[in-house]
Structure 1
Amino acid sequence: MSASTVSTKKAAPAPGARKKLTLPWILLIIAGGLALVSMVRLISGANDLTSIGQVSGALSLAVPIGLAGLGGLWAERAGVVNIGLEGMMILGTWFGAWAGYQWGPWTGVLVGIAGGAVGGLLHAIITVTFNVNHIVSGVAINILALGFTQYLSNFTFAEAPGGSSKQSPQVEPIAKITIPGLSDWMADLQAKHWFFVSDLAGVIGGLITEISLLTIVALLLIPATWWVLWRTSFGLRLRSCGENPIAAESLGVNVYKYKYIAVIVSGALAGLGGVYLSEVASPIYQEGQTGGRGYIGLAAMIFGNWMPGGMALGAGLFGFIDSLKLRGGAENVHAMLLLIAILLVIVCVWQLYKKKYIQAGISVAFAALLFVWYATTDQVPSQFVDAAPYLTTLLVLALSAQRLRMPKADGMPYRKGQGK
């Protein structure tokens, strides 16, 4: 066989290799998921499941989670585990509200980003320079940020009109925009409760009605991160530090520099997520405002397999589940029992196709339990509604654990010249 013939042959895929999803397939999966939700809505009568208000609320809850997850992605792609995202978000909420109250919302955005970046810088000094365990450093930053902001509130917000030691005065909100005409048309279509069409109108309407300018910035950061990390030489060097820093060093990459940049950017993004909470979600700083969203952001990043698109889907899922308890509460969560049961049946069919009979049996058993629960009750206990976002986090991570691949050197200590 000639060399030219060999060169024209396509390399056979490695056994077990996964095919990349193309855009048409992604759109088809999204459309199928929306059709399934629409069917559940019609069966259950929970018409608020895909309403404009529901989608808008889910987006508002997903953005801070997504920003925290994006911050975690930057750090871990460079090989640094950032458990301190929660603390960096806390710094963002406090400094964003403090500066926003005095000098306007956009100044608050910049100062909140800087506050989170300082938290990232501290984490980088501890982990990259001094090689302290990344988990220990992250937990310490979370504790330090909470105590530091409580201390600052005592002699700043407590003295301000309308403030207290646990909350700031009202912050001027960031402007929101609505696409006139189109928004009203989507609202009319959604109100008709037609199959799929009304659900699609609800999703589109939620994305173009009363949307904050900061939300648009946050959404644009997702493709921007993908482009920087996967389409530039800078991104290639940064990711090489998370895969094999010794090899990267041998090729002339300043590993310390790239790790520092990644962790500082990570803190800045988490700080922006905190600003979103104190200026958009609720235009006021309150103690405990982050509510564990930094940790859920990490879960969204892991669910997304350390990729921006997957992370965004994970954040959207967690935001949607969290929003169910705010609108419709028990009724919407009760409808989700039916949706999860149907999804488990689909998983069972897929496992049977893959000849994984034990996993298929477990899936169908849980599906049967959920079908019975849905059929024999009209609503779920309020405690289950409150716990739904956290149960979803655990369930999603458990189901996605087998397909994950973290950066090879993530969390591993590195010293310059250790490969010599």
Structure 2
Amino acid sequence: MSTVVPEATMPPPPSTPTAAAGRSYRWLLLVLGFLALVSSVRVVSGANEIDSVGTIQAALIATCPILLAALGGVWAERAGIVNIGLEGQMILGTWGAAYFTYYYGPWVGLIGAALLGAVGGILHAIATVTFGVDHIVSGVALNIIGAGAVAFLAEAYFRDLDGGGIKQLTGLETPPKVDIPWLGEAASDLADKHWFMISDFAALIAALTNSISIMVYIVAGLVFFTAWVLWKTTFGLRLRSCGENPQAAETLGVNVYLFKYVAVIVSGVFAGLGGYMLVLVSSSGFVTGQTGGRGYIGLAAMIFGNWRPFGAAGAATMFGYTDAMQLRNADAVHALLLLVAALLLIFTVLRLRKGDRKNAVLFAAVGVAFLAWFLLSDEVPREFAGMTPYVATLLVLALGTQRLRMPAADGKPYRKGEAG
């Protein structure tokens, strides 16, 4: 999957309240620092659309499908199963969302998308866990099967419906939206003043309180749910042990096959919910092929997030933001070059402080290239803007995977009784 640091021989020391408080403080400083950086880029470039209320809402909606796929990847790979089939499971979820929403409404459509994604998870689990098929081969096959099955099902079931066709189904009821008028309007007014940092924070509040889909909040809740289950419960500890050392887990009485099955099925459920987001929140209906590779981008977000839910959320937000920016003001897309340059140069300084000169030089070279592009141009070609999320994916995987650690037994074959 990626170049990783060798696994530590000793487990990390248990977390203490003081250590937890220190981490919370560092995260707060990191968030405030990033907000200050974005605000500085906005002021210098004059591109107020870079973090306007509309841009943030578009970024949140674009982030959610990617984030759900990334969370699905976290569940599967923490149990030792590489899930390249996230894309196919998401495709299956789009059809389930459209079919069940058309007949029963958006909440049953949510269940339908989850069930279709779970079907993809079951197929992947049968192939990889029961029959020991190579995880990559099984995932690629699942992607092909998912795309073909949904194309067939769409033509068979949507062709004669109102708003339907052989490749689409429109006019679907959408999930409710969260709207807090008094807070949203006040925050929007403050955001329009374009004050340093204050207006940027107000724009975020306005985006979360002005007619934003309730699914954004549900997805955020799923991030915390995943972190709690996998890192704070006995079930999560046993599941993660299957991805680190399944032979040792077996000797302790853990049913490794069962935990791997559960993890991969839950992974499919999350990917299916990502398909639901694409059909009923990100767009106005179902169209075949509308995933657009977001399952793969979700997999990249999971890797860049170090196989952890909050890390995956941060990476998915970055990808979702770049995805949303291609549809916004051209000046904002151009200002994004300055933001990327600034981030890369900050990473350069951090690498130098840690004595990592090789990667520091690489970050510096790419950062200077982006800065030169910003200074020597007035706009970004529209064709490149459409490629932004995919370019960001490649850039992150090329520059950001040197210090990542995947689960030790991720992708390795396991047969019951190997522990001897």
TM (norm. structure 2) is 0.93
Shift of 1:371: 2.3
Q: Name the counterpart of 2:334.
A: 334
Aligned length: 405
Q: Name the counterpart of 2:7.
A: none
Distance between the aligned counterparts of 1:104 and 1:82, measured in 2? 30
Q: Name the counterpart of 2:267.
A: 266
Shift of 1:21: 6.5
Distance between the aligned counterparts of 1:228 and 1:128, measured in 2? 22
Residues 314-325 of structure 1 aligned to structure 2 (within 5 Å): 314-325=315-326
Mean CA deviation greater in 139-148 or 352-361: 352-361
CA gap 1:403/1:212 in 2 versus in 1, 3 angstroms: same
Q: Helix, strand or coil: the match of 1:156?
A: helix
1:106-148 alpha-carbon deviations (Å, 9 max, x no partner): 1111111000001100110010000000110011111001111
Q: Name the counterpart of 1:284.
A: 285
TM superposition outliers: structure 1 runs of 4+ over 2 Å:
18-21, 347-372
Q: Name the counterpart of 1:4.
A: none
Distance between the aligned counterparts of 2:411 and 2:252, measured in 1? 21
1:183-212 alpha-carbon deviations (Å, 9 max, x no partner): 001100110111111111111211222121
The code of the aligned residue for 2:226 comes to T
Mean CA deviation greater in 386-395 or 364-373: 364-373
CA gap 1:234/1:358 in 2 versus in 1, 3 angstroms: closer
Q: Name the counterpart of 2:79.
A: 78
Q: Name the counterpart of 1:372.
A: 372
Distance between the aligned counterparts of 2:75 and 2:359, measured in 1? 34
1:50-103 alpha-carbon deviations (Å, 9 max, x no partner): 111111110000001001100110000101010001011011110110110111
The code of the aligned residue for 1:266 comes to S
Mean CA deviation greater in 30-39 or 389-398: 389-398
Mean CA deviation greater in 53-62 or 352-361: 352-361
1:117 and 2:118 are equivalent in the alignment = yes
Shift of 1:360: 3.1
The code of the aligned residue for 2:407 comes to P
Q: Name the counterpart of 2:8.
A: none
1:225-271 alpha-carbon deviations (Å, 9 max, x no partner): 11111111111111110000000000000000000000011001110
CA gap 1:35/1:419 in 2 versus in 1, 3 angstroms: same
The code of the aligned residue for 2:201 comes to L
Q: Name the counterpart of 1:213.
A: 214
Distance between the aligned counterparts of 2:94 and 2:228, measured in 1? 28
Q: Name the counterpart of 1:24.
A: 25
Q: Name the counterpart of 1:294.
A: 295
The code of the aligned residue for 1:100 comes to T
Mean CA deviation greater in 243-252 or 378-387: 378-387
Distance between the aligned counterparts of 2:214 and 2:343, measured in 1? 35
Shift of 1:384: 1.4
Give % identity. Answer: 53
Q: Name the counterpart of 1:353.
A: 353
Distance between the aligned counterparts of 1:320 and 1:161, measured in 2? 34
Distance between the aligned counterparts of 1:167 and 1:68, measured in 2? 23
Q: Helix, strand or coil: the match of 2:401?
A: helix
1:224 and 2:225 are equivalent in the alignment = yes
Equivalent residues of 1:277, 1:289 under 8 A apart:
yes
Equivalent residues of 1:245, 1:255 under 8 A apart:
yes
CA gap 1:12/1:325 in 2 versus in 1, 3 angstroms: closer
Q: Helix, strand or coil: the match of 1:352?
A: helix
CA gap 1:408/1:360 in 2 versus in 1, 3 angstroms: closer
Which consecutive residues of structure 1, in runs of 5 or more, have no partner in the other structure?
A: 1-10
Equivalent residues of 2:245, 2:408 under 8 A apart:
yes
Distance between the aligned counterparts of 2:97 and 2:215, measured in 1? 13
Distance between the aligned counterparts of 2:47 and 2:307, measured in 1? 34
Distance between the aligned counterparts of 2:149 and 2:161, measured in 1? 18
Q: Name the counterpart of 2:135.
A: 134
The code of the aligned residue for 1:56 comes to Q
Equivalent residues of 2:50, 2:336 under 8 A apart:
no
- Higher Rg: 1
Shift of 1:402: 1.1
The code of the aligned residue for 1:392 comes to A
What's the C-alpha RMSD, in Å, of the aligned pairs? Answer: 1.8
Residues 381-420 of structure 1 aligned to structure 2 (within 5 Å): 381-420=381-420
Q: Name the counterpart of 2:193.
A: 192
Distance between the aligned counterparts of 1:30 and 1:175, measured in 2? 29
Q: Name the counterpart of 1:92.
A: 93
Equivalent residues of 1:157, 1:169 under 8 A apart:
no
Distance between the aligned counterparts of 1:265 and 1:84, measured in 2? 13
Shift of 1:285: 0.6
Distance between the aligned counterparts of 1:363 and 1:255, measured in 2? 41
Residues 136-151 of structure 1 aligned to structure 2 (within 5 Å): 136-151=137-152
Distance between the aligned counterparts of 1:280 and 1:367, measured in 2? 35
Distance between the aligned counterparts of 2:259 and 2:364, measured in 1? 47
Q: Helix, strand or coil: the match of 1:49?
A: helix
Distance between the aligned counterparts of 1:105 and 1:351, measured in 2? 47
Equivalent residues of 1:338, 1:370 under 8 A apart:
yes
TM (norm. structure 1) is 0.93
Equivalent residues of 2:175, 2:280 under 8 A apart:
yes
